[in-house]
């Protein structure tokens, strides 16, 4: 059976702060449930992401994007040194 195509995707929160060396979680709300979500970071020197868990690498900003099918949603991440 073929999986149904993604019809909607959102992330929450859409903005977050995380300290260097710490993590925060971004949740993807995808329709239909169970659709594959691919995560990416606009700047992996500042923040990395794996399965929605964002790790602060260095102070700065990065955009974390969740993509599923033709849909994508992003969250702005600020990494602080404190």
What are the pLDDT digits (tens) for 35-77? 999 999 999 999 999 999 999 999 999 999 999 999 999 999 9
Phi/psi at 16 (5° precision): -160, 155
The answer to whether residues 67 and 51 touch, using CB atoms and an 8 Å cutoff, is no
Question: What is the pLDDT, as a whole number, of residue 3?
Answer: 60
pTM of the model: 0.92
């Amino acid at each position: 059976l073929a999986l149904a195509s993604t019809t909607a995707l959102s992330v929450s929160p859409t903005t977050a702060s995380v300290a260097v060396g710490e993590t925060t979680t971004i949740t993807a709300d995808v329709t239909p449930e169970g659709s594959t979500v691919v995560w990416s970071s606009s700047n992996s020197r500042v923040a990395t992401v794996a399965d929605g868990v964002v790790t602060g690498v260095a102070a700065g900003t990065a955009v974390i994007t969740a993509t599923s099918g033709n849909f994508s949603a992003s969250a702005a991440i600020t990494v602080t040194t404190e």
